[in-house]
A and B are shown apart, each in its own frame.
Chain A
Amino acid sequence: MDIEMNSFTHNGNDAAPHSSNGPVTASNTADVTCRASEATETDSLLTVQVSASNGQSIPSSPTGIQKNAHTPTEPRTISNIRRELNEVVFWKVKMWMVIAFILLLILLVIIISVALCSAIHRDPDETFDPSLFKVPVYFNGSFLLPNLALKEEQVTSNYSNQSLSADLQNKLADLYRYSPALGRYFSKAEIRVLWNSSVTADYQLKFLMPEEQQDALRNFTLSREMVYNVFRQFLYDQEPGSSEPLYINPRSLKMF
């Protein structure tokens, strides 16, 4: 067999100039498949010769080479593989079962680790320690309650000044507490309602922030723009022209 391979190597090199004689097995098969298409007499002879030798060398060669060789002996290689797969490893377990089991095991390990990773993943943006939030930031402003001004007489009977303030405080507290960005820093809202010709509410919002990162927070998350616009956005999302007594006119919202 060795002698056959060598003779082929030389022939192949003569026809297509390859500089190295070293790697015989892999490059040979490739050469042969290419050259088989060039239909000269000597080539076709060579192909037959070499493919025969390939067929013999298959059981001992890696599978990569078998794929490359498009030779007439392919049905035989397949039957060889089938035979090997059906070999009994131990008890009634055959080779293919062992391979399938290993593949399944690998897949299972991957799935479990991914699932585990997802399950134990803690979002760093959701983890915070409220006890570190100590530095207070205040925002003051006012807004109008147009629905109260319209029917002052009826409403005053239902609404004491105190309960109105309390309801408004809850409304503001809820809106800030449910804000994804501001919720964790929100501390409390205070309201003072003024009954004039129009009903005005003055408010003060208190936020607490950690001592670290104060500047970034003041410039972005706890900036006046952000606190103001979260409020304004909430008001814009209300039903426009609602007759609810606690309806706040979005255009009247001021923040200093």
Chain B
Amino acid sequence: GRMQPSRLVLVLGLLSGEESCDNFTDLNLSHCFMGTSLYVRLLLYTRSNLDCGRELDHHRLSSQPLFNLSRPTAFVIHGYRPTGAPPIWIDHIVHLLAEQEDMNVIVVDWNKGAANLNYFTAVTYTREAARNLTGFIMTMEEEGAALSSLHLIGVSLGAHLAGFVGANLKGKIGRITGLDPAGPMFTSTTPEERLDPSDAMFVDVLHTDMDSFGLRGAHGHIDFYANGGVDQPGCPKTIFAGKSYFVCDHQRSVFLFLCALNRTCSLTGYPCSSYGDFLDGRCLQCEAFKPASCPVLGYDISRWRETLLRLGQTKVFFSTTASLPYKKLSYRVDMVTWNQYLRWGVVYIRLHSGRHFTEARVDHKLLRLEQYTSTRLLAQFDEDLQHIQKISLRISTGNVIGPRYKIRLLRIRFTPLERPERPLMCRFDIIMDENMEVAFRPLPCNSPH
């Protein structure tokens, strides 16, 4: 018969003396059902073998010429694999990490061990896998690698695994990034039994699913809470959506991090005590990080590292859209009314640029409009429109019957938060009916003198 193209390549490869690729262990449901016992493989990817992993020998590091210990090394550690299939984001994260700088990317493949129907088995294997990886890193150190140049990126259970490795190495590892650290079995544990800031010189954590598979609380020097760390937009709300109902929120942490690595989304986190306070516009100051901005999720955290270490632990919040590029554009809106009597309402704002518009609905709670008192709110828009020609505003008080009240504003001011180069927009002396839209052309707030 005819030779299959793939086999041809294999044969040619063998003839030219090249090794074949070592890929992530692919298991299926039957393996999970039977249960797997732990086997840790370390797959090396560098800029010269981005699509073809090379399995590393745990003890004889020099046997793999591509492994250069003078370069920084990032370890990617996956979590629990209930189906046994390789994580869909593995190739993507390897490519993106290699783009950041010239480094060794090591995928820690502990699929045999993580692929168990019984989650508790996988949890018990994390300790053992951590010992295994600790041994490997100690060998790396003996061969001349600096612990401070290591970066462990752990997803879910993998985040705790990375924490255990860091604790084994007395917190001397450069950085651990935890992507939605696993919650089940870790909720009421002590810091030694989960990821915590003492596990590495710098620990950053992203939370997306604290109310089911993720872990509540703060576990790093900086904790990013996407949409408050629970219920991500665009994720199904009911069980009828099938598998994605379970994994969507949890997996979003990986997709947000990938997007941040890709630089397609710059997600700025604002330091705050709670998401509610953040949405109320009470946490929009970034003075603590001056001259830098507020911390941005991603690979390069050098601008905030020192400040964050000085601050101890920082919780930062941001909101995202349902899909790529996830970023929302935030404006701080301040307005002052001269109405004698107090009014309560929710605010809808539309920014128009040509025929495009984007809307922010600030309706998570009623705003208080009091005479001569500045009301501050956070307006987050899905789209980033550049030249805003018109703004329309509606204040909905919920009054349906009775007299139609008027709302009178002395001033409304829009401050773009993530674009300091853009001008502040203002409008003065507005009169509007409640529940009715009013449109106006904004003018620059700063007068020439």
Contacts and interface: CB of A to CB of B under 8 A. Distances in A.
Given A181-B408, A226-B410, A251-B448, 19 more contacts: A114-B401, A117-B402, A121-B402, A121-B403, A123-B403, A125-B339, A180-B430, A181-B338, A216-B372, A220-B336, A226-B428, A226-B429, A229-B411, A229-B429, A232-B443, A236-B441, A236-B443, A237-B441, A254-B449
A220 B429 CA distance: 11
Given A114-B402, A117-B402, A125-B339, A180 B429 contact: yes
Interface string B389-414: 00000000000011111101011000
B402 to A, nearest CB: 6
A220 B403 contact: no
A125 B406 contact: yes
B29 interface: no
Interface in B411-444: 411, 426-431, 441, 443
Interface in A224-256: 226, 228-230, 232-233, 236-237, 251, 254
A64 interface: no
7 contacts: A121-B402, A123-B403, A124-B341, A180-B408, A220-B372, A228-B447, A236-B441
Given A117-B403, A180-B431, A220 B410 contact: yes
A198 interface: no
Contact of B427 (A121, A219, A233): A233
Contacts of B429: 179-182, 226, 229-230, 233
B406 A221 contact: no
Contacts of B402: 114, 117-118, 121
A115 to B, nearest CB: 9
B6 interface: no
B372 to A, nearest CB: 5
Contacts of A226: 410-411, 428-429
Nearest to B336: A220
B160 to A, nearest CB: 47
B4 interface: no
B302 interface: no
A125 B410 CA distance: 13
Contacts of A180: 408, 429-431
Classify chain A: how many residues form its interface, as a range.
Answer: 20 to 34
Contacts of A220: 336, 338, 372, 410
B16 interface: no
Given A125-B340, A181-B338, A229-B426, A118 B410 contact: no
A251 B441 CA distance: 17
A230 B443 CA distance: 11
Nearest to A110: B401
Contacts of A125: 338-340, 406, 408
Classify chain B: how many residues form its interface, as a range.
Answer: 20 to 34
A254 B429 CA distance: 19
Nearest to A182: B429
Interface of B: 336, 338-341, 372, 401-406, 408, 410-411, 426-431, 441, 443, 447-449
| Chain A binding surface, main DSSP class | helix
A140 to B, nearest CB: 14
A118 B449 CA distance: 46
Contacts of A232: 443, 447
**Which 9 pairs from chain A and chain B are nearest by CB?**
A121-B403, A180-B431, A229-B428, A118-B403, A236-B443, A220-B372, A181-B429, A114-B401, A230-B429
A229 B411 CA distance: 9
Contacts of B338: 125, 181, 220-221
B340 A124 contact: yes
A111 B430 CA distance: 32
A119 to B, nearest CB: 8
Nearest to B404: A118
Contacts of B408: 125, 180-181
B209 to A, nearest CB: 39
A111 to B, nearest CB: 9
B137 to A, nearest CB: 62
A232 B448 CA distance: 11
Contacts of A216: 372
Nearest to B426: A229
Given A114-B401, A121-B403, A182-B429, A219 B411 contact: no
Contacts of B431: 180-181
A114 B402 CA distance: 6
B18 to A, nearest CB: 68
A232 B429 CA distance: 12
B428 A233 contact: yes
A236 B443 CA distance: 7
A68 to B, nearest CB: 32
A241 B403 CA distance: 43
Contacts of A251: 448
A114 B404 CA distance: 12
A179 to B, nearest CB: 5
Contacts of B401: 114
Nearest to B444: A236
B404 to A, nearest CB: 7
Q: Which of B406, B428, B443, B448 has the most CB of A within 10 A?
A: B428
Contacts of A228: 447
